[in-house]
C-alpha cells in the first residue's frame, strides 16, 4: 500500500508542503511532485467534479506518488470512504464544529476498531486486491488521514475537544469562513486571527496532531510555521493562472500603448491575394 508523504513529514516533526488544485488539470500532480510538494488539496467543495474526473485525478496522484487530499462536498459516510478506495490519502472536511461531527467522520474513514469504514478491498488503495498486503486494514488506518477544518466560532470553542478525537490527524483553519464569522480579516497577522491560530496551535500541540492553514506568501508561511504549523498550503493553480494573466495583460497594455494600438509593420512583407 502506498505510504503517505504528508504523514511521514508530520510524524517526523517536519513541515508538509501542500499545493491547492481547483480544476481537473492532469499535469498538476506530476508538476507538484517534481517541485517537492508532499500533497495536493483538491477542492471539490466549491468546484464541481464529475465522478470519472475524481477517479482519474486521484489515479494521477497515485502515479506521481504524491498525496491526494480530497475536499468533498459531502459528509456522507459511503462517499467519504469511496474516495479512500479510489486512492485518496487524506480527506479534508469543511465546517467541523463539534467533537461529535469529528467522531462521525472518523467512523466513516477508519476501519474497526477505530471506526466503521465499509470493507471492499478491491479499490486502488488495495492494489485492486491482487497486491493488497496482509495487514491492509492496519496500513489503511495508518496511512490515510482526516483533516478537520476549523471555520466557525463554535469550532474554535470546541477545538481542543475536536483535536482529542482519535483519528483526527490535522486541524486546518479556513481563514475565509473563519474571518467572515469572527469579523476580522483572513490575514495571518490580524490580531483576532492570530489569537485563533494560537488557540488551534495549542490544541494540536496538546493532543500531538498537526495544524495548518493556507497562506499567500513566504512571509505568511514563516509566521504560522513559527507558531507550530506543520500542514502548510502555499501555492495553487488558480492563483498561478491569475498572476500570469495579470502580468501578461499588463505587458500587453504597455506594448499596445507603445504602438498606439496599430499593427506593427512586418519588414519586407509581401501581400498575397487569394
Torsion of CA 85, 30, 219, 198, to 10 degrees: 10
Contact call for residues 153 and 13 (beta carbons, < 8 A): no
Could you confirm whether 207 is annotated as catalytic?
no
What cell numbers appear for 264 in the block? Answer: 506593427
| Bond preceding residue 113 cis, omega within 30 of 0 | yes
Cα(202)–Cα(207) distance, integer angstroms: 9
The CA–CA distances, whole Å, from 262 to 249, 255, 266, 268, 272 equal: 17, 11, 12, 18, 21
The C-alpha R_g of the chain, in whole angstroms, comes to 22
For 76, other C-beta atoms within 10 Å of its C-beta total 11
Please tell me which residue in 46, 61, 95, 243 is annotated as part of the active site. 46
Q: Tell me which residues are annotated as active site.
A: 46
Amino acid at each position: 500500500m502506498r505510504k503517505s508523504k504528508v504523514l511521514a513529514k508530520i510524524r517526523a516533526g517536519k513541515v508538509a508542503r501542500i499545493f491547492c488544485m481547483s480544476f481537473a488539470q492532469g499535469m498538476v500532480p506530476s508538476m507538484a511532485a517534481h517541485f517537492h510538494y508532499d500533497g495536493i488539496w483538491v477542492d471539490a467543495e466549491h468546484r464541481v467534479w464529475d465522478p470519472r474526473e475524481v477517479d482519474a485525478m486521484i489515479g494521477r496522484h497515485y502515479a506521481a506518488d504524491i498525496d491526494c487530499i480530497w475536499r468533498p462536498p459531502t459528509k456522507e459516510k459511503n462517499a467519504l470512504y469511496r474516495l479512500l478506495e479510489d486512492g485518496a490519502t487524506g480527506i479534508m472536511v469543511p465546517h467541523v464544529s463539534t467533537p461529535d461531527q469529528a467522531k462521525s467522520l472518523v467512523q466513516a474513514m477508519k476501519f474497526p476498531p477505530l471506526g466503521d469504514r465499509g470493507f471492499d478491498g478491491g479499490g486502488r488503495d488495495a492494489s485492486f486486491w491482487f497486491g493488497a498486503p496482509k495487514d491492509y486494514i492496519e496500513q489503511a488506518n495508518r496511512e490515510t488521514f482526516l483533516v478537520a477544518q476549523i471555520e466557525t466560532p463554535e469550532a474554535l470553542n470546541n477545538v481542543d475537544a475536536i483535536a482529542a478525537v482519535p483519528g483526527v490527524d490535522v486541524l486546518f483553519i479556513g481563514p475565509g469562513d473563519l474571518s467572515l464569522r469572527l469579523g476580522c480579516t483572513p490575514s495571518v497577522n490580524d490580531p483576532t486571527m492570530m489569537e485563533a491560530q494560537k488557540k488551534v496551535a495549542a490544541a494540536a500541540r496538546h493532543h500531538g496532531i498537526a495544524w495548518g492553514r493556507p497562506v499567500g506568501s513566504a512571509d505568511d508561511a514563516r509566521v504560522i510555521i513559527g507558531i507550530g504549523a506543520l500542514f502548510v498550503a502555499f501555492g495553487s493553480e488558480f492563483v498561478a493562472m491569475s498572476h500570469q494573466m495579470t502580468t501578461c495583460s499588463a505587458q500587453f497594455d504597455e506594448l499596445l500603448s507603445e504602438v498606439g494600438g496599430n499593427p506593427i509593420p512586418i519588414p519586407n512583407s509581401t501581400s498575397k491575394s487569394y
